[in-house]
Amino acid sequence: MTAQSNSSPTSADMGLFERYLSVWVAIAIVTGIALGQFAPAVPEVLSRFEYAQVSIPIAVLIWAMIFPMMAQIDFSAIAGVRRQPKGLTITTTVNWLIKPFTMFALAWLFFMVIFRPFIPEELASQYLAGAILLGAAPCTAMVFVWSYLTRGDAAYTLVQVALNDLIMLFAFAPLVVLLLGISNIQVPWDTVI
Q: What residue numbers bound the domain in which 168 lies?
A: 16-192
Q: Look at residue 78 and tell me if it is in a domain.
A: yes
The answer on pLDDT for 4 being more than 50 is: no
The answer on pLDDT for 33 being more than 60 is: yes
**184: region left, alpha or beta (phi > 0 left; psi from -120 to 50 alpha):** left
The reported pLDDT for the residue numbered 12 is: 59
Q: Look at residue 2 and tell me if it is in a domain.
A: no
pLDDT in tens, 136-192: 887 776 777 777 777 788 788 888 888 888 888 888 888 888 888 888 887 777 776
Q: Look at residue 4 and tell me if it is in a domain.
A: no
Q: CA-to-CA distance for 74 and 106, rounded, in angstroms?
A: 39
Q: Look at residue 188 and tell me if it is in a domain.
A: yes
Q: Look at residue 7 and tell me if it is in a domain.
A: no
Q: Look at residue 38 and tell me if it is in a domain.
A: yes
Percentage, residues of the chain above pLDDT 70: 87
Domain count of the chain?
1
**What predicted TM-score, i.e. pTM, was given to this entire model?**
0.62
The reported pLDDT for the residue numbered 173 is: 86
pLDDT in tens, 88-105: 888 889 888 999 999 999
